[in-house]
């Protein structure tokens, strides 16, 4: 499951396009004009938190236009400086440039995910090629690159400290990878490719979101919805009937509950067909065109494939390393999924169902197996997982034990939605650290899933402390009703807070390195490590209390819950790997080899990789695979499983060293959480664990080495 989206901040990276993944909502009520655009000046609020109460939709375009113009002037001043290039007058000057654009981009990109409008979506579409062209104007400035190149060539004699030397090397690498060394005609071709790609990726995003918002599967009456919780039946009521809305993943939450098999089948078929049914939201041609343009980009820049271009800048380094990991995991994942299907088929046969388990049956019968095997279901657990208690007595409690953090809720700061809560975070000895925004509830204006982003990224050069946001899509209960979570939602709360810690603990000099600005295949590492505390006995017993009586969760029920941790891991690993293999396959093609028939290409890929098991479809098909085709994870969706190898090793390290202790927390903070991208990512892992990643730890953690389910 994709649990996070993160926006890279700092220096020139601010100018790069970050496509939005958002849902439409009614346009805002017009407001009277303001004399000063609130997006441009530095916010006077604590920690530079954006003045959400003053920002209007009409502010964005003029703010972008002015901020980009000012940024170009700042960059041109560096490029045309008559003085000999130095680290300070070139690299540091570039790091200080574009601060207006940083503020505008942070607010727009983040709110376009969390609280969008049709107007913001149009701005996103209109500005996408403009923002791409802005980045190209900087990266392809020959005078600017000449100064960077001169410093890079002389780097060994400049006497730079380790972080400054890494920054210089990073600037040089980023400019080269953005086309700074290309000939004039090739630069023009790359500019054209970047503009078209920016527009196509925005189109892809809009098609996915518009179809999700417009789609749904009708049910005639409540009897068709037998098994679905009453609250969800009420939420699906539309006029005289019922419409089940779709999430963006292939699997749909109602499939766990619905007893009506034909309805389950219709839901799955509708989900799998998205983006490929003809009409205004069909993404098949868009997918093929994006893949072709990316392949052309890579070829222009001297790479065999777009995957090779992407992975070179990641922890994995090579396509062979990525494919080696995927190959090692695919066979045991599919084998375990087949064993899981056998267990479900036994229930179908015992009930004389007369059918073979299909993709629309999996979630429903997996839950039956789980209940039979462990005698536990979500209905028993949810009363013990009240949101505020999980947050304060679980997430914050673990952070206090590990890092000495304390939290104070602020009610005096403006928010973009009334449900958003703001916490000031204090380090040990009550030292102010930053702000944490928690946006828990689902709404039509918010993209699906859960993610973390940064409104202000830490940088000692700029004197900035962090403002981070965690976003969830928890169904909002009725007035006066408690918010009771599923255990998966509990784990997600810990996960996103792990990303939050990565931003809050950032302690770097340069903004380019701040917070979560690490390789994509490393960014999930800290967050997935933080998930372990959701199941840590001392932490669970502290937060898992009945919302009415305050009684702790019974030990027998807790033991049953924890015993299910490896349940259904064949399915979950296989559906993820299938999507990952599709992503890799698209981006390992030459331009002339890009197919037009998207469905046939997917089927051939899954068959070639030995993962074509019909009851387990890929988590995303290409036509609604936002991570790959508009969300910054192109040839990079493998990042979750790559990071999980590091996570499995790290969990074993924590357990071997005493678990939930300040000593362990401080070591993890000093070696990983505070370093941003100021050091090579894999070196941070080695500094903590003292060894190399071992995929065997992940295989054991997911139970892929075990027989049965």
* pLDDT tens, position by position, 392-440: 999 999 999 999 999 999 999 999 999 999 999 999 989 999 999 999 9
Is the CB of residue 520 less than 8 Å from the CB of residue 636?
Answer: yes
Q: Phi, psi (5° rounding) for residue 400? A: -70, -45
Q: What is the pLDDT of residue 316?
A: 93
52 domain residue, yes or no: yes
DSSP-derived pairing of the beta strands 421-427 and 406-410: antiparallel
Q: How far apart are CA 484 and CA 137, in angstroms?
A: 50
Q: What is the pLDDT of residue 31?
A: 40
Same domain, 536 and 573: no
Cα(366)–Cα(371) distance, rounded to whole angstroms? 9
User: Which residue blocks in 507-568 are alpha helix, DSSP H?
Assistant: 520-530, 537-543, 555-563
Supply the CATH number for residue 676's domain: 1.10.1370.10
Same domain for 579 and 522: no
HSE (side-chain half, CA atoms, 13 Å) at 65: 8
CA 300 to chain centre: 29
Number of domains in the chain: 4
| Residue 19 in this model has a pLDDT that exceeds 90 | no
Burial readout 465-493 (b: 16 or more C-beta within 10 A, e: otherwise): bbbbbbbbbbeeeeeeeebbbebebbbbb
Interhelix angle 142-153/162-177, rounded to 10 degrees, is 140
Do 437 and 547 share a domain, yes or no? yes
Q: What is the DSSP letter of 286?
A: H
Residues near 594 by beta carbon (within 8 Å), at least 6 away in sequence: 288, 291, 292, 295
DSSP reduced 3-state for 547: coil
If pLDDT is split at 50, 70 and 90, which confidence band does 698 have? confident
Cα separation, 396 vs 390, whole angstroms? 8
Verify that 387 and 369 share a domain, yes or no. no
Whether 311 is covered by a domain: the verdict is no
Note whether 76 and 86 are same-domain residues.
Answer: yes
Residue 204 belongs to what H/E stretch?
A: helix 184-214
Domain boundary at 545, 566, 587, which? 566
Whether 354 is in a domain gets the answer yes
Among residues 235, 254, 273, the one where a domain terminates is: 273
Same domain (yes/no): 368, 498: no
Asked if residue 194 and residue 232 are part of one domain, the reply reads: no
| Domain shared by 92 and 189, yes or no | yes
Sheet order of strands, 237-238 included: 217-219, 241-244, 237-238
Residue 365 resides in a domain? yes
For residue 677, being part of any structural domain is answered with yes
Residue carrying structure tokens 């039979």: 372
- Same domain, residue pair 574 and 641: yes
281 lies in some domain? no
User: Which candidate, 279, 31, 94, 300, places its Cα nearest to that of 191?
Assistant: 300
Whether residues 522 and 646 share a domain: the answer is no
Pairing, β 237-238 against β 241-244: antiparallel
Domain boundary among 166, 182, 204: 204
- Residues noted as catalytic: 496
Q: What is the per-residue pLDDT for 702?
A: 85
Can you give the CATH number for the domain in which 190 is found?
A: 1.10.1370.40
pLDDT digits (tens, 9 = 90+) for 208-260: 888 887 888 999 888 899 998 876 777 677 777 888 988 888 999 899 999 99
Q: Do 559 and 591 belong to one domain?
A: no
Answer yes or no: is 1 within a domain. no
Q: In terms of DSSP bridges, do strands 467-474 and 431-441 run parallel, antiparallel, or are they unpaired?
A: parallel
* Same domain, residue pair 473 and 604: no
Q: What is the mean pLDDT of residues 315-322?
A: 95
Cα dist from 602 to 452, 544, 586, 587, whole Å: 31, 43, 9, 13
Cα separation, 297 vs 306, in Å, equals 7
Handedness of CA 652, 657, 658, 662 (dihedral sign): negative
pLDDT value, residue 26: 35
Residue 317 three-state SS: coil
* 376 compared with 281, residue with greater pLDDT: 281
User: What are 136-181's pLDDT values in tens digits?
Assistant: 999 999 999 999 999 999 999 999 999 999 999 999 999 999 999 9
Please report, in angstroms and rounded to a whole number, the separation of the first and last CA atoms in the chain. 20
pLDDT at 708: 52
For the whole model, what pTM was predicted? 0.89
- Per-residue model confidence (pLDDT) at position 253: 86
Write down the mean pLDDT value for the chain: 91
Q: Report pLDDT digits (tens) over 447-482.
A: 777 899 999 999 999 999 999 999 998 988 888 899
650 assigned to some structural domain: yes
In terms of residue numbers, what domain contains 600? Answer: 319-374+568-701
Residue-wise pLDDT tens digits, 514-526? 999 999 999 999 9
């Amino acid at each position: 499951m994709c649990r996070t989206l993160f926006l890279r901040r700092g220096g020139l990276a601010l100018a790069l396009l970050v496509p939005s993944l958002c849902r439409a909502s009614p346009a805002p009520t017009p407001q009277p004009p303001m004399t000063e655009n609130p997006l441009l000046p530095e916010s006077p609020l604590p920690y530079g938190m954006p003045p959400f109460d003053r920002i209007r939709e009409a502010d964005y375009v003029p703010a972008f236009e002015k901020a980009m113009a000012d940024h170009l002037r700042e960059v041109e001043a560096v490029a045309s400086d008559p003085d000999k290039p130095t680290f300070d007058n070139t690299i540091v000057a570039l790091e200080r440039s574009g601060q207006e654009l940083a503020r505008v981009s942070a607010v727009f990109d983040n709110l376009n995910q969390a609280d969008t409008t049709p107007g913001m979506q149009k701005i996103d579409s209109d500005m996408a090629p403009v923002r791409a062209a802005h980045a190209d104007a900087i990266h392809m400035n020959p005078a600017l690159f000449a100064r960077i190149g001169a410093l890079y060539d002389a780097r060994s004699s400049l006497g730079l400290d380790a972080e400054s030397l890494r920054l210089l090397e990073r600037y040089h690498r980023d400019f080269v990878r953005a086309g700074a060394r290309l000939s004039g005609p090739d630069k023009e071709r790359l500019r054209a490719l970047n503009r078209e790609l920016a527009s196509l990726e925005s189109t892809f995003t809009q098609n996915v979101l518009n179809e999700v918002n417009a789609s749904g599967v009708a049910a005639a009456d409540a009897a068709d919805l037998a098994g679905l919780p009453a609250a969800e039946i009420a939420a699906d009521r539309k006029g005289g009937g019922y419409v089940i809305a779709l999430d963006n993943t292939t699997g749909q939450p109602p499939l766990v509950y619905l007893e009506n098999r034909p309805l389950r089948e219709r839901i799955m078929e509708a989900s799998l067909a998205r983006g490929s049914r003809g009409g205004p939201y069909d993404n098949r041609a868009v997918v093929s065109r994006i893949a072709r343009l990316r392949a052309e980009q890579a070829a222009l820049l001297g790479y065999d494939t777009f995957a090779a271009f992407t992975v070179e800048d990641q922890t994995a380094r090579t396509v062979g390393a990525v494919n080696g990991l995927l190959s090692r995991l695919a066979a045991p994942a599919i084998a375990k999924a087949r064993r899981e299907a056998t267990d479900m088929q036994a229930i179908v046969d015992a009930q004389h169902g007369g059918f073979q388990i299909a993709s629309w049956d999996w979630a429903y019968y997996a839950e039956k197996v789980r209940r039979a095997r462990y005698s536990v279901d979500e209905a028993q657990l949810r009363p013990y997982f009240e949101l505020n208690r999980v947050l304060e007595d679980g997430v914050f409690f673990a952070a206090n034990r590990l890092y000495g953090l304390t939290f104070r809720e602020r009610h005096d700061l403006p928010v973009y939605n009334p449900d958003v809560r703001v916490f000031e975070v204090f380090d040990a000895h009550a030292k102010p650290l930053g702000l944490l925004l928690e946006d828990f509830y689902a709404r039509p204006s918010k993209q699906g899933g859960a993610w973390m982003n940064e409104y202000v990224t830490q940088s000692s050069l700029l004197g900035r402390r962090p403002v981070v946001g965690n976003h969830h899509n928890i169904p909002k209960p009725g007035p006066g009703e408690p918010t009771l979570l599923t255990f998966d939602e509990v784990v997600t709360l810990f996960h996103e807070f792990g990303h939050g810690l990565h931003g809050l603990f950032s302690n770097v000099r340069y903004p380019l390195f701040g917070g979560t600005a690490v390789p994509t295949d490393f960014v999930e590492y800290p967050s997935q490590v933080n998930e372990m505390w959701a199941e840590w006995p001392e932490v669970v017993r502290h937060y898992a209390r009945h919302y009415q009586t305050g009684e702790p969760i019974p030990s027998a029920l807790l033991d049953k819950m924890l015993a299910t941790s490896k349940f259904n891991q064949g399915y979950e690993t296989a559906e993820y790997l299938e999507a990952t293999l599709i992503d890799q396959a698209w981006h390992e093609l030459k331009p002339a080899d890009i197919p037009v028939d998207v469905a046939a290409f997917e089927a051939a890929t899954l068959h070639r990789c030995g993962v074509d098991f019909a009851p387990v479809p890929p988590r995303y098909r290409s036509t609604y695979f936002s991570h790959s085709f508009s969300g910054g994870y192109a040839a990079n969706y493998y990042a979750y499983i790559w990071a999980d190898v590091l996570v499995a090793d790290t969990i074993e390290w924590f357990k071997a060293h005493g678990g939930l202790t300040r000593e362990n927390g401080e070591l993890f903070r000093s070696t990983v959480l505070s370093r941003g991208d100021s050091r090579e990512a894999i070196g941070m892992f080695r500094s903590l664990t003292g060894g190399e990643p071992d995929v065997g730890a992940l295989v054991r953690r997911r139970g892929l080495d075990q027989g049965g389910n």
